[in-house]
Amino acid sequence: MKLKQISPWISNKAMQNKLQNKLIKSWLLEEGPITSRIKSNEIFKLNLLKEQIEKVEQIEMDFLGKNLGQIKIREVILFGDEEPRVFARSLIPVKTIDQGLSKLGELGTKPLGDILFEKEIFKKIDIVFAKFENSKNIFWGRKTKYLVKTLPLSVMEVFLINSNE
């Protein structure tokens, strides 16, 4: 899925001031697993687009942290009733898999959200928001940084609800 970021990453407070759409805000501020939210009303499906070690851009490294070595990039689309609902891009350092939680390296077509909310393992430490576009729509997304035994990973989710804000 080709999405282009069209705004800088901003804080929760700045997002709350800019965005008026209550539905989109509810997705951006969702505290639980997005997969559970989709499953509660729709037939859920995950389409794995990519799961491989790749070089990441400097801005992504700045958010994730320094000197982390190789990074596994995982991209998926979450569907509800056959409609794309969320594009997600996770950056998982190999060090986080090896020294934090090996399950992160074995996700395949399982949702990351199935393990991400195990509070004794994952600690959410930062969240930022931005706008994205594809050829004809504007979407909002969020990027969250987590720690697993002091080792980072990040999850970016773009909610595929068209917004003109």
40 in any annotated domain: yes
Q: What is the pLDDT of residue 114?
A: 84
Q: What is the pLDDT of residue 6?
A: 94
164 in any annotated domain: no
140 in any annotated domain: yes
Q: What is the pLDDT of residues 133-154, one digit of tens each?
A: 998 899 999 999 999 989 999 9
Report how many domains make up the chain. 1
Q: What is the pLDDT of residue 121?
A: 87
134 in any annotated domain: yes
The CATH number of residue 70's host domain is 3.40.1410.10
Instruction: Determine the structural domain holding residue 96 and report its residue range.
Output: 4-159
Q: What is the pLDDT of residue 72?
A: 96
Please tell me the number of Cα atoms within 13 Å of 5 on its side-chain side.
15
147 in any annotated domain: yes
146 in any annotated domain: yes
Q: What is the pLDDT of residue 22?
A: 93
Phi-psi map region of 49: left, alpha, beta (phi>0 left; psi -120 to 50 alpha) = alpha
Q: What is the pLDDT of residue 116?
A: 86
165 in any annotated domain: no
Rounded-to-integer distance, Cα 84 and Cα 65, Å: 30
For the chain, 165 residues long, the average pLDDT of each consecutive 10-residue run is: 91 93 94 92 95 92 88 96 96 95 91 83 94 92 95 96 76
150 in any annotated domain: yes
pTM of the predicted model as reported, rounded to 2 decimal places: 0.94
